[in-house]
Amino acid sequence: MEIITVAHAPLWCAPRKRWLPIMVAGNCWEPPATKVTFVSKRKSVFMRNGFHASVFKSDASQGEPEVVVDSNSLSSDNELSQSKIALSEARSIQETIEKDRDRLVEELAQSEVKQREYASIIEHNKKLAIAEIEAAKSLFKETLQGSISEKFGLESKLVLEKQEAVELAVQVEKLAELAFQQATSHLLEEAHLRVSAAETAAAEAVHHIEEQIRHATEGTISSILDQSKQAICKALFAAGQASNHAEKAVSTSSGGNNLLDEIAAVRSQNLGLQNAISGLESKLLVAERGIERLKVDLEQVVAQAKASDSRASVAEKAFADLEELTRKHSSKREEEVKLLMDKMKEEAAERENASSKAFKVKLEGIMAAVDAAKETAHLKDQAYERRVTALQRSLRASESVMEAWRQKAEIAQSILDGERSTGEENVPYLSTGGRIDLLTDDDSQKWKLLAEGPRREIPEWLTRRIRTIFPKFPPRKANIAEALSVNSLSLNLPKPEEVWSIAQEKPRDMGVLVDHFIEKEVIEKKRKALERALERKTIKWQRTPEEIKLEPGTGTGREIVFQGFNWESCRWRWYMELAPKAKDLSQSGITAVWFPPPTESVAPQGYMPSDLYNLNSSYGSIEELKHCIEEMHNQDLLALGDVVLNHRCAQKQSPNGVWNIFGGKLAWGPEAIVCDDPNFQGCGNPSTGDIFHAAPNIDHSQDFVRRDIKEWLNWLRNDIGFDGWRLDFVRGFAGVYVKEYIEASNPAFAIGEYWDSLAYEGGNLCYNQDAHRQRIVNWINATGGTSSAFDVTTKGILHSALHNQYWRLIDPQGKPTGVMGWWASRAVTFLENHDTGSTQGHWPFPREKLGQGYAYILTHPGTPVIFYDHFYDFGLRDTITELIEARRRAGIHCRSAVKIYHANNEGYVAKVDESLVMKLGHFDWNPSKENNLDGTWQKFVDRGSDYQIWLRQ
């Protein structure tokens, strides 16, 4: 053990961090506040008030160092030796410090090398991650392009198959017609030949018999005449002889001859004459008998002629039967062809469904691949974060070690420089900076690279694909009532700095692909909103007189409605099928689109509603419905909702087992059902209209029912976005309730379905249909004129009028027949809808007359409706678009005046307003032939004998 002598100096023990008391002359002396720090692991030198002491710690000692104080060490001779010792020890300590510094520098260099290795590993991993993400993006791009190209291929194949099916149907119809014509022509020729042969044989027989009778009669009569002549000659000769004999007798008597001989001779001559006469009579009798035989023969010939006539009639009957059989056979063939067409349509629909399902499966696979790529990127991000965290922990540990050695180096440096700490409790800490400071510096490009990654722009093709994958759901539609309450349009244009910020905004190339797409979509929405704002007109909104107040029944008066569905539309996600057609419909001149019933329904078509607030129907979800309506609004089209207010299907049974308890938000009971509904035991008031027997009829006289319905209609109007209504089965309740509903919901347009039967007599349509159109007009009047109605009268009359009975299109007052002639602004004309046509076919319009029908309703007053099937499936799109253009150029609206010039079996001619003239039928007519038609007219449409249209120049 080494001994240290100390004179009146307390000791500081560095390992225990406290002062040690010193025993002097048996007393314990407490140290003052001054301290001296160890600078070596083995020795420390303490300097205080000119005294010095050395403390030596044994290597084997585990406790506090032993200190021995010698009071005789205060002599000056020992100070020099102690100083030398201290100097040598300081030099050894300095050498030790230099060795420690060299070792620290080596460790620092090693840590820097390790840090560079970590940075290179991180950079390598990042490059791998970026390469994998790029590969995933390219794979996604290829898969998406393949799926889209396959979809386009399937759609093109479907279109080709539809065209082939239509062409096949046309060819089958032509072949059937040709076969029928060939068969009938062959049979007709054969029958005509047989009839002509029979007639020729009968005529020849009659002529032969007449010739025989004539020859026989002539021969008999000539023989009789000859015999008569001979007999007369003989009689005359006998008479002459008798006269001679008489003369001789007279002369003899006078001369003396014998009279008796003469008398005997005369008698014998008379007997001869009598015999000759009897012979002539017998010959005449024989001739009469021959004539009788000839008469019998003539009667036989006549009978044969009658038999030939009967055979000819039998042949004609057989021909008629053959024609009937041929007609039945042709109708059967037509039915077979129709069934074949239906089967082909079903197969095409099934193929389309299969292709759509396959596309959906592939799309789901693509989405799964995207999700997998997203998950992979997420896992890589997590691994990257873990690597960064480990690197930071390593750097922090390295910094802590470096800080400890820095402190030790500073203490050693301070001792070597002879610094003394007086009045300070702690050694000051001088920061020299470290690796973490470099990485966390805001200006460090390395940290930005690690945090954000490289920035790259998105290609245009990828942007288009992103738009197709992520559907856009539009914001809430503006209220029309608020728009109508202002005199000018509000611009709300963005500021220039906002324009530039949106225009220059770019998405960050983040690690997760879906987040990148969403950010891109947000930027595109901002830009589109900016474009719409900048495209608004800056001039004052000048309203036309018709637009000052929109009437619910007529709107602006220039609406053209398109029924956007048929009876089979519920089999597809119809909202997504209809939305892409908005631009095409708007460009064709359509102004309003009639949507199918949107509510949840027992029947898939929507006309048996249950929960009125549930808009997830067979046609699509509520989000798809809003998206479809927004697409219509973007193309300036009105969206008309098909609302069923007469009846509603219950969700629960009463204790009696009757379905008369409703569910959902409108939880009505039997008190909401009319009491005269025979099937559902309602407790309300009697019905104000006809009973619909398939579902409970709602009692609209109840206040709570009307209040709930008005709230529902306003919800559809303001929250969903519908602009107007198509009211189903309005015969079931009074029109005064319709007036209340329309006034509460303020639609831009409203149509009521008042379907009633026309008047027929003997199976033929009556000319006078005033009673029928009067019933429809009465219902419109009951609504206070707030709603229009379908002109069923005009549809029924057109069925017969276009078959060369054009005289049906004018009433005794010279006006158009139907509701159009009495209240044109409330008449909604149509040819077909989902009930009359489509696959139901309750009252289909003659297909060969559809062009004439649309020419009539699109050039006349009222509001015309175009059926979906006619526009997209029957090949009438160009025809209808042409007629809409003629209506637009002529400025025809729902109140236009009509003057009818001709209406007979040959055709129909009318002037609408002062700008359009139209002709139906095959007769020759043009405006120059009409004396009462002034002005210069130019032919706009010429469809031959079907219809022609002229516009005033």
Among 549, 655, 569, 583, CA closest to 618? 569
**Distance between CA 623 and CA 618 in Å, rounded?**
13
CB contact at 8 A, 650 and 696: yes
**Which residue is it, tokens 């506040």?**
33
From residue 257, give the alpha-carbon distance in Å to each of 172, 245, 253: 117, 11, 5
Reported as half-sphere exposure (CB side, CA atoms, 13 A), residue 746 has a value of: 12
**Distance between CA 919 and CA 722 in Å, rounded?**
38
The residues, any chain, with a CB within 8 Å of residue 272's CB and separated by 6 or more, are: 238
**Distance between CA 298 and CA 378 in Å, rounded?**
116
Query: Choosing from 699, 728, 740, 946, which is the catalytic residue?
Result: 728
Please indicate whether residue 942 is annotated as part of the active site. no
Instruction: Please give the DSSP secondary-structure letter assigned to residue 906.
Output: S
CB contact at 8 A, 681 and 654: yes
**Distance between CA 439 and CA 7 in Å, rounded?**
54
Reported as half-sphere exposure (CB side, CA atoms, 13 A), residue 773 has a value of: 24
Q: How far is CA 381 from the centre of its chain?
A: 42
Instruction: Classify burial at 556, counting beta carbons within 10 Å of its beta carbon; exposed 0-12, middle 13-18, buried 19 or more.
Output: middle
The residues, any chain, with a CB within 8 Å of residue 605's CB and separated by 6 or more, are: 567, 570, 596, 597, 618, 834
Query: Choosing from 551, 753, 811, 832, which is the catalytic residue?
Result: 753
As a three-state string, the secondary structure of 824-842 is HHHEEECCCCCCCCCCCCC
The residues, any chain, with a CB within 8 Å of residue 80's CB and separated by 6 or more, are: none
The residues, any chain, with a CB within 8 Å of residue 98's CB and separated by 6 or more, are: none
AA identity, residue 890: A
**Distance between CA 53 and CA 73 in Å, rounded?**
10
Q: How far is CA 16 from the centre of its chain?
A: 88
**Distance between CA 530 and CA 542 in Å, rounded?**
24
Among 475, 749, 746, 753, CA closest to 591? 749
**Distance between CA 294 and CA 650 in Å, rounded?**
93
b/e code 425-435 from CB counts within 10 Å (16+ = b):
eeeeeeeeebb
Please indicate whether residue 728 is annotated as part of the active site. yes
Among 116, 139, 138, 119, CA closest to 127? 119
Please state the φ and ψ torsions of residue 18, each to the nearest 5 degrees: -155, 165
DSSP 463-504: HHHHHHHS-----PPPPHHHHHTSSS----PPPHHHHHHHHH
**Distance between CA 792 and CA 825 in Å, rounded?**
15
Reported as half-sphere exposure (CB side, CA atoms, 13 A), residue 234 has a value of: 17
Instruction: Give the pairing of strands 863-867 and 18-20.
Output: unpaired
CB contact at 8 A, 626 and 720: yes
Please state the φ and ψ torsions of residue 280, each to the nearest 5 degrees: -60, -40
Beta bridge partners of 592: 561, 638
**Distance between CA 291 and CA 297 in Å, rounded?**
10
CB contact at 8 A, 751 and 828: yes
641: enclosing H helix or E strand: strand 638-643
Residue numbers annotated as active site: 728, 753
